[in-house]
Chains A and B, each alone.
Chain A
Amino acid sequence: MHAIVLVKQVPDVSNIPEEAWDREKGTLRRGVLDSVLNPLDLHALTLALDLRQAAPAAGSRVLCLTMGPPQAKAILFECLARGADEAVLMTDRAFGGADTWATAYALARGIRKIERELFRGEPYAIVAGMQSVDGDTAQVPAQVAEDLDLEHIAYAQALELTDGVVIRRIGPTGMETVRPLARPFLVTVTACTQPSYRSFHRSRASRRQALLEWNAQAIEADPQRIGLPGSRTQVFRIFSPSEEKHKSCRYFTDAAPLAAAVRERYLQGPAQAAAVQGRAYELDGKQASYHGDVWVYVEQAEGQINDVSLELLSEARKLAADLKVHVGAVLPGHNVGSLAPSLMAQGADVVYLADDPLLRHFRPIPYKKTVGELVVKYRPQIMLFGATPLGRELAPRVAYGSDAGLTADCTSLEIDDVERSGVTLTAILKQTRPALGGNIMATIMTKGSQTQMATVRPGVFKAAAPDLTRAGTVIRHAPALSEADIRTDILSIAPLPPRSGVAEAEIVVSGGRGLGARVRYERHLRGLAAAITGTLPGRVELGASRMAVEDGFIGHDHQVGQTGQTVQPRLYFAIGISGAVQHVSGMQNADIVVAINKDAHARIFNYADFGMVADLETALPALTEAFAAGRTT
């Protein structure tokens, strides 16, 4: 069948030249950056090329669609060189300044036109990269699906065509094998196997191929829904994230006090670095610009509430206190009513319970319908979702369907008054998030909507201790769902492969060339890892520098750094690692870093919280013993 691939030209954030930084303003000059095809879109294209083989295969085409300035042609030519058959550029000044909302609207109009005029009613699917490196919101594809009322199969990893189209994707509870039941459907890809290469001869041929160019009129777009006027969010401040983390290292000469200090810091819990604590806001009898309560979407799987929902309830309480309104918790699912009391204990005043057998498994359509109905009926002024895989699928659709702006992946939320072009907005939600691959921070506000929606990464806020004396009310909602809302067949859910990746471990014990030989790596690092496993909570994994990997101490999937894994554990040990830039770039966001190196000038100490200048041959057995001893105390 045919496929439409949504592609985007993005700045190359993997190679940011020094001159691109405006150090005074703390921002990036985007114009200086090179432009590339969004990396995940390349994976999407590769999946689409496979999908072209799906029945009916004869005459099937892969068409790439982008909305952007005329320069975006470059990525369309690239897609053609990589195997696509056709390309459409939607370009018009009127599209400029669009947020995800206005982008999704325009792309959906473009897709309709392709369906009518190019595919002429023949079956097709839409494929997109899950997110782009510049916006990093993952909202556009989900909102396109919402606009076109399509099933969205997110986090796709692989495609099988042996028995019709079957897609393997990461679902909330495991690796799902799903079959789309309706055409068209929309797939977003997070990773897939080797992306297709550019062919020289195809590159040459593509230059002679005419691209289709459509403006706003050609896609019959409503001028009020595209570009700046159609956007539901507005950036009002860009600033630089805190400067490079040079830590001040506390040095130890003995293993026992080092182990004790590490243990104590670790058990204190994460430093509240991520969440910039918002000031308390005083409404002082002013008339707020928004009305309604502060809501939290409660994510649960098999009766277990996701921690992030509890964190958000605590944050919602603060916001609601500033605004002098109530906290609502939205709880869809099947047989989940028993969770209501714990939500109240965590801060909810009202629990909106939607219990329905069709909500047993998470599927975007029945879920977004249910939540959307509630939002439209009760109109909260703020609604928070966890930026979990599920939240990133659901929130964009709910927002689009209920005409609300949405800011993804916020790291701080604050109620404040804002002056915009002479108009004062009172008590609005200032939402701050990283953008451009974490290279800048943007503060965003919602506009033109009644509800301000945001997703927040897990761990950004801290869950307060539950208050079991709190009470609240439960409002039951019967969603208007039918079997027709089920548009995928979940063929199987396999447990996710054990989370073995070093990228997800809470504690990483990494060794470098300083370990000298594989046997020493095995003996020392595994010993230390085992001792820590017994004493500190959290999963422990082994890591390595590239030299250690090249020297065969351990496999490449344990390599930390620029060309290995990027890790962000609570606790990172760098043992016999010098701290080369390429290593540091993969571990500098670890919360607590412990370095052991015999060279007092090793760069790794610049990034360490705790250090020991010692020969690891003696230091490691002592440290292992010190941790092991902690087990009994």
Chain B
Amino acid sequence: MNAIDCLIIGGGPAGLATAIRLKQRLTQAGREAAVVVVEKAARLGYHALSGGVFETACLDELVPGWAQLDDPFVTEMVRIEQDDLYFLTEKHAHLVPRSLVPAAMHHTGDAAISLSRLAAWLGKLAEREGVEIYTGFAAERLLLDGGAVRGVKLVDLGRGRDGTPKKNFLAGEEIEARVTVLADGARGVLSRQFVEAFGGGENPQIYSLGIKQLIKLPAGHAFGGKRVIHTLGYPNRPDVFGGGFLYSMGHDHVALGLILGLDWKYADLNGQLELEIFKGHPFMADLLKGGQVVAAGAKTIPEGGYYALPTLTADGGVLVGDAAGFVNMEKIKGLHYAIRSGMCAGDAIADALAQGNASKVALAGYRARLEERGILSDMKHARNYRQSFKHGTMAGAPLSLLQSWLPFRLAMEQDHLATRADARLNRVKTGMDKPQFTSLSGAMHREDEPPHLRILDPAACVECANVYGSPCVHFCPGEVYRMKGTEMIVSHTNCLHDGSCQVKCPMQNILWTVPEGGEGPRFRAM
């Protein structure tokens, strides 16, 4: 079996950009080398969810001439022409004058895309370059060898609910490679192991949760085909960071979402319900009239910024994209960072392989290139920018309200510590329920496999129920968790792979392990 030169875990934009760049460089140098991408979703894009405002300049470098390609992803791409920010009070919507909107939040000229489709398209390009892509294989463990990354071990397949191997049991295979790139996204299990082994940032990583629906509007709707709006305010309380968005997606579809800083204090906050309440706002309801929800999902976004960046390289190992925490918090944009960081990694790995050396030293070019391409400096700038805000001391509306929404959080503690036992929203249920929401994500797991969500200590759930009223029952958008008396019941089949339970469980009592490959949500256009 021919050896793998570079193994990339995660077929999101970061992983695929790494693969494309590296393979381009190797081909230019006339080298035969195996570049392999392993993705846990059944297809590229099935686990990919983003808002969708995309700064496409990075593609010009990665795929020169991409805009001329005859592919529906390119030819149908929505270019944003109208870009508005609204502040919502309970009944009204106020357009924020453009002069008051920070430049970082101007999106005219960007594209509005579906990440599922971007990933599928990048996958096609990567295969054309000669990259090998294997979907439906999930990595569960980083293989370390005396301080060097040796490769990964895949998930065991075919265990019964109690863990005993069934007739078709296939022990998790080991995959070795000269360089292993972790592109497994926000809260990726392998990148977490990497960070544990090689060190995290000065600050802990913090996250937001995005809840999203794809809605088909009736023909002739008034929203327009090249428009994005962002909203602040309702339904969020002033002390909940976040905002809403509504983006044209082409073919009468719009992407609707709510992004919530996971450091909310309310023990009963349910993001899936918040989205329904948001949809019920007169302004939103009017825009969405006659719309039909065709897909739904959720995902976390790392927002710790510069000082939460972990060690980025090790002997034989590199972190890229959300796995490293490359998100611009001013803009809540990570797609272009994912692609750029992947290109930096691709270049650095090509250089290292050319030297026949994959050590940390040989990979040092990665950081240098991140600096060169401006990612680190941008993030540093945003960090300083954030410091200039003081949480809670807002001066003068509406700019202060704007600031309150922007997720430039000063809080440097982990999100789960923010939950307060006595803080409740006590919302009334409305709109779509969680089973419908989950159904629209296409999520599926083998019901008789060992639950991939492990409750570490059952007693802690009882304590949590008594103190906090089991926040996971509320915040999990897939309704995975449920207390029956003193027992925590985990419906792992519902899991949307959004990662919120990892971040928000106040007891840090839930361990998300990787389920069998090919399971989980099936996003086609999220």
Contact = CB atoms under 8 A, between A and B. Distances in A.
A204 B134 contact: yes
A193 interface: yes
Nearest to B292: A18
12 contacts: A15-B442, A194-B168, A198-B137, A199-B170, A200-B134, A200-B175, A203-B137, A204-B132, A551-B484, A563-B447, A581-B435, A582-B439
A200 B522 contact: no
Given A17-B294, A551-B484, A556-B447, A197 B251 contact: no
Contacts of B524: 17
Contacts of B166: 194
A46 B216 CA distance: 41
Interface string A1-36: 000000000000011011100000000000000100
A207 interface: yes
A309 to B, nearest CB: 39
Contact of A197 (B36, B157, B175, B439): B157
B295 A17 contact: yes
Contacts of A34: 43
A535 interface: no
B173 interface: yes
Interface residues of A, number: 29
A179 interface: no
A582 B443 CA distance: 11
Contacts of A205: 1
A630 interface: no
B435 A582 contact: yes
A195 B169 CA distance: 10
A261 B137 CA distance: 54
Nearest to B442: A15
A193 B295 CA distance: 33
Interface string A543-563: 000110011000010000001
A201 interface: yes
Interface in B290-318: 292, 294-295
Contact of B168 (A17, A193, A200, A556): A193
A75 to B, nearest CB: 13
Interface in A133-179: none
Contact of B216 (A18, A194, A581): A18
Given A205-B1, A563-B493, 18 more contacts: A17-B294, A18-B292, A19-B294, A34-B43, A193-B168, A194-B167, A194-B168, A195-B168, A196-B170, A198-B136, A200-B38, A200-B154, A200-B175, A201-B173, A204-B1, A207-B132, A581-B436, A582-B435
A201 B168 CA distance: 17
Contacts of A556: 447-448
A194 to B, nearest CB: 4
A57 interface: no
The 8 closest A-B pairs by CB, nearest first: A194-B168, A18-B294, A580-B435, A197-B157, A197-B170, A581-B439, A200-B173, A563-B447
A199 B1 CA distance: 14
A203 B173 CA distance: 12
B394 interface: no
A513 B42 CA distance: 32
Nearest to B154: A200
Contacts of A195: 168
A582 B442 CA distance: 11
B295 A18 contact: yes
B37 to A, nearest CB: 12
Interface in B191-219: 216
Contacts of A17: 294-295, 524-525
Given A203-B134, A204-B1, A194 B158 contact: yes
B117 to A, nearest CB: 12
A204 B1 CA distance: 9
A14 B1 CA distance: 35
Contacts of A550: 482, 489, 491
Contacts of B447: 556, 563
Contacts of A582: 435, 439
Nearest to A36: B42
Interface string B153-175: 01001100000001110100101
Question: Interface residue tally of chain B, by bracket?
Answer: 35 or more
B433 interface: yes
A46 B168 contact: yes
Nearest to B136: A198
Contacts of A15: 442, 522
Contacts of B482: 547, 550
Contacts, number: 69
A551 B491 CA distance: 11
Interface in B29-49: 36, 38, 43
Contacts of A198: 136-137
A197 B173 contact: no
B173 A551 contact: no
Contacts of A203: 134, 137
A387 B36 CA distance: 48
A522 B251 CA distance: 52
Contacts of B292: 18
Nearest to B445: A563
Nearest to B518: A198
A580 B168 contact: no
Nearest to B38: A200
Nearest to B522: A15
A189 to B, nearest CB: 15
Max count, chain A CB within 10 A of own CB: residue among B493, B524, B525: B524
A193 B158 CA distance: 11
B64 to A, nearest CB: 28
A560 to B, nearest CB: 13
Max count, chain B CB within 10 A of own CB: residue among A205, A556, A582: A582
A330 B262 CA distance: 72
A199 B433 contact: no
Given A200-B137, A203-B134, A581-B439, A19 B251 contact: yes
A200 B154 CA distance: 9
Interface in B472-509: 482, 484, 489, 491, 493
B150 to A, nearest CB: 16
Contact of A546 (B43, B484, B491): B491
A194 B38 CA distance: 24
Contacts of B173: 199-201
Contacts of A19: 251, 294, 525
A46 B168 CA distance: 9
A547 B490 CA distance: 10
A581 B442 CA distance: 12
Contacts of B154: 200
Nearest to A563: B447
A36 B520 CA distance: 17
Nearest to B489: A550
A201 B43 contact: no
B242 to A, nearest CB: 27
A86 to B, nearest CB: 19
A510 B153 CA distance: 43
Contacts of A18: 216, 292, 294-295
Contacts of B294: 17-19
B371 to A, nearest CB: 36
Contacts of B134: 200, 203-204
Interface in A468-485: none
Nearest to A550: B489
Interface string A33-54: 0100000000000100000000
B470 to A, nearest CB: 16
Contacts of B43: 34
B139 to A, nearest CB: 10
Interface in B397-455: 433, 435-436, 439, 442, 444, 447-448
A195 B157 CA distance: 11
Contacts of B442: 15
A84 B41 CA distance: 23
Interface in A404-448: none
A468 B136 CA distance: 63
A26 to B, nearest CB: 17
